[in-house]
Structure 1
Amino acid sequence: VSGNYLYAGLLTEPGKIVKIDLATFTRVDTLTLNDGENYVRSLVISGNYLYAGLDVSPGKIVKIDLDTFTEVDTLTLEYGEYGVSSLAVSGNYLYVGLSTQLGKIVKIDLDTFTRVGALTLEYGEYVASLAVSGNYLYAGLLTEPGKIVKIDLDTFTRVDTLTLNDGEYGVSSLAVSGNYLYAGLLTEPGKIVRVRIYEEDSYAGGFICDAVPLASMFMIIIALVVACHLSLKMKKR
């Protein structure tokens, strides 16, 4: 989302990005990428530019000017760096998560739009999602059980790993709100894990998590709505 517009990446050949007006919730424009720029798997906005991660081999990042809604540059990653699954921005850097067998996160300088580093994870740690909170980057992995890797952005090194419970696998999405990290899992039924990110020095690097099945979360929401409704009725009396 940027301003009054929502951007949606499509898994087409070539890839497409649809622009949607949030006021009218209608499609107002579509950008079709160049030949060979297929499968828009992830999107992120920084400043006046939209960056699209492509699930091709080698992976590609397309830079799009939001004012003109046109493609202005493309960065091709190195050989063996395929499957751009996720993107995240912190400061002047773009972080690119790859779904390679040896999981990898590539660091890109947005000023020069060039690659400046890469962090390689362990075998089988496919990176599916990224999120930034403070000075840390969190990477959700498609492992079983699921894992969340904590990365120090100053040193660009792995500093901690949270392994979820048995049966909680495939961290396909991450989101941060306040002091919590929320992880969406590929389980059946779906599940969301809430992770407490400690900021206090005494708990540096620490994690505490709990999980809420989606069905239970809906029941909690319904219960809250009913309670609110009953409270309003009591006040009217």
Structure 2
Amino acid sequence: MNTEELYIWNYGIDKLPKGLLEFGRSDVCDTYDESKRQKFQNHGQWMWKNKDGWRENLPSVLYLVCNKKPGILQFDFLDKYSIKLKIVSEEFLSLLQENGFVDKYDITTVKVVNKKNESLTDKKYYALRINHFDNDSFHFGKGITYQSDLQKERGTCFTVYPDMKLKDSSIKQNFFVLDSIEYGDGIIFRERVLDKVLNLYRPEIYKLSDYSKIWNNRGNYLYGNELMIVK
């Protein structure tokens, strides 16, 4: 039986340390036009799918537009689950690729800029548009379900899985992405790469079992709480 611990890298929505980007504090755009009043825009259909797949290829460059001062941003991972993007640093991309996370995404360069199109960091970044999710790689086990009165009326709910395990522990892949509201805005990984992930810039990491405890009460578990894994 596979007993290897699984972890998730997932940021809360506010009160993050310097160098990280909080929820809602950045926009992804595909166009910069100096002549326009709103200089950054999205002109393409690259973020939308139809029955045959993505409507357009990723642009050759995307802009991550932030209200930050130059030199502050140092993050290695930023999730944009609503448009199925994971924005990663060059260092984190190398770690992903070295550990079997390949052939699952389209990739393009990201420029991290302010509204004047000035670069905010010396680090290199890439956007991964996920094409293949890893839901089928896991035994989810017994779930914990959260359901509001409105969800009961609609027949919907949220479910987290504290005992989730890999079906095949012999696979070489060590990082995983799920297509679900509960886990889709994070990256799941195996214990064997924990030390390498902790060497990246200020990750917020939890055991999957602990993440299940805090998921429905995220506001009470800010960055640095007692369940967070630190180096």
How does the TM-score come out when normalised to structure 2? 0.27
TM-score normalized with structure 1 length: 0.27
The structure with the largest alpha-carbon Rg is: 1
**Is the helix fraction higher in 1 or 2?**
2
Question: Bigger relative contact order, structure 1 or 2, given CA contacts below 8 A and separation 6+?
Answer: 2
Larger proportion of strand: 1
